[in-house]
């Protein structure tokens, strides 16, 4: 593999002072600083300013001032800006990808496609905003012409997670800007670098105040941003607890809510499945990004008649995973931090104490610095154990069994989440029945992690509200005004 980190990244970090971006200016912040830790080593490698409600107030005020001018731009003019932002990313692809790998600890084989995907999202939204539709203008009531105006909702508070920093930021930013909104974005305090860099570069494309970034913690920045009286929309990806807190915060002013709150993906493997293909795909889909993915395929429900063969093959496949820091050409990197490592470790230990069987892994990776956890498979787990109910967000597969299709559906839907489900079967009729019966926003048959920007991504139940990607996200971020004119 190429050198990691590259000389460009080393030089960039050595000479760079990251800051908030407010009203078109980079602000270095005060004395309060936030250290950033490399998950592969556990060492601090950079720092950013620690924002507060003061920065939030100024950023929201800037976004509010910029709204009237930005919304008056034509769809084509806003699209041109999004296309220019995509080019900014493409022109610095290596820098963005390596910064993402360094800050999150992920392999570059993962980060490079993410960066390309962010640029693709901007290009898609640039095209989509020019083709949105409303009902035809007509005389629906005799003597009165009716038509519909699509208008922006206003100022969007975007709060993004640490697992896919730039791609998630762009997934929120692109449809918001395309629809004529302005944005104040708070990236995760753990992995803010690519978002801060992107906001800095975006100043050359966007008018001041259209896109602002405030760095800091959830308590110091996220809560005051979500509750700000001049914010119209809260768009957040994160935990259910954070989503519920933000919903309460925004309740007094009835803010529009767009939440993606995680999942617990059931993977239903029937007795007619292509086991070798299912194992190969699961090896990637469960441990992609070290399992730190809301759609990670980590809850396996397998027909009892093939459990032995399936688990044996899965264990053998998992044993070949290359685990290590980004400079070792790994397939799987570390967890994001010590606190998260302890959480994953605690869930696995709790399941084992309750009687679960460890079929692979089960603990930290010996001989590596940083926050590495072994690719793990657990079976024979008590049905009420937390490892089956909670989103682990780590490299842990749990295995349960079923004997009938109805039992499989019941188990798959027995969760608070409803984001993604997978079905492995060669029976097309069964696949169609399962697509109807599973209470999840995406159902993938003989596939995993297929999420094109043209299709909506959103969940049911506690997995969230609204959609990312596709033209549906533009609907989420637009209001529809009925105009009536007497003839």
Annotated catalytic sites, by residue? 260, 294
Structure tokens belonging to residue 35: 């250290």
For residues 291 and 106, the answer to whether their CB atoms sit within 8 Å is: no
For residues 372 and 335, the answer to whether their CB atoms sit within 8 Å is: yes
Angle at 21 between CA 16 and CA 27, to 5 degrees: 60
């Amino acid at each position: 593999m190429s050198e990691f980190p590259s000389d460009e990244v080393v030089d960039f970090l050595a000479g760079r002072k990251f800051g908030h971006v407010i009203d078109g200016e980079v602000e270095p912040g005060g004395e309060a600083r936030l250290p950033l830790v490399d998950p592969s080593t556990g060492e601090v490698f950079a720092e950013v300013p620690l924002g507060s409600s003061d920065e939030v107030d100024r950023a929201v005020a800037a976004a509010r001032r910029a709204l009237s001018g930005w919304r008056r731009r034509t769809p084509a003019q806003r699209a041109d800006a999004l296309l220019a932002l995509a080019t900014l990313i493409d022109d610095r692809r290596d820098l963005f990808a390596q910064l993402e790998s360094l800050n999150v600890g992920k392999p570059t084989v993962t980060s490079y496609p993410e960066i390309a995907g962010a640029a693709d999202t901007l290009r898609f939204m640039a095209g989509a905003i020019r083709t949105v539709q409303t009902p035809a203008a007509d005389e629906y009531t005799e003597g009165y012409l009716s038509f519909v105006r699509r208008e922006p909702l206003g100022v969007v508070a975007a709060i993004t997670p640490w697992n896919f920093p730039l791609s998630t930021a762009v997934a929120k930013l692109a449809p918001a800007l395309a629809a004529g909104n302005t944005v104040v974005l708070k990236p995760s305090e753990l992995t803010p670098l690519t978002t801060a860099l992107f906001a800095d570069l975006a100043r050359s494309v966007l008018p001041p105040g259209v896109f602002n970034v405030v760095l800091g913690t959830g308590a110091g920045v996220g809560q005051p941003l979500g509750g700000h009286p001049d914010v119209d929309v809260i768009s957040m990806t994160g935990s259910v607890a954070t989503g519920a807190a933000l919903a309460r915060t925004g309740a007094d002013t009835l803010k529009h809510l767009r939440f993606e709150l995680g999942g617990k993906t059931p993977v239903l493997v029937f007795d007619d499945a292509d086991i070798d293909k299912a194992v190969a795909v699961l090896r990637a889909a469960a441990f992609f990004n070290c399992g730190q993915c809301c759609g990670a395929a980590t809850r396996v429900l397998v027909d009892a008649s093939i459990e032995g063969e399936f688990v044996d093959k899965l264990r053998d496949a998992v044993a070949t995973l290359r685990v290590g820091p980004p400079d070792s050409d790994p397939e799987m990197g570390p967890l994001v931090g010590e606190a998260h490592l302890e959480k994953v470790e605690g869930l696995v230990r709790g399941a084992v104490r309750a009687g679960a069987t460890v079929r692979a892994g089960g603990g930290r990776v010996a001989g590596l610095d940083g926050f590495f956890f072994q690719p793990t498979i657990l079976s024979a787990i008590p049905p009420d154990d937390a490892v089956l109910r909670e989103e682990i967000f780590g490299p842990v597969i749990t295995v349960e069994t079923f004997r009938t299709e109805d039992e499989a559906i019941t188990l798959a839907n027995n969760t608070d989440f409803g984001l993604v489900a997978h079905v492995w079967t060669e029976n097309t009729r069964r696949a169609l029945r399962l697509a109807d019966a599973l209470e999840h926003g995406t159902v993938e048959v003989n596939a995993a992690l297929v999420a094109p920007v043209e299709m909506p991504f959103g969940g049911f139940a506690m997995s969230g509200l609204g959609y990312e990607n596709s033209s549906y996200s533009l609907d989420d971020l637009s209001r529809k005004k009925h105009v009536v004119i007497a003839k």
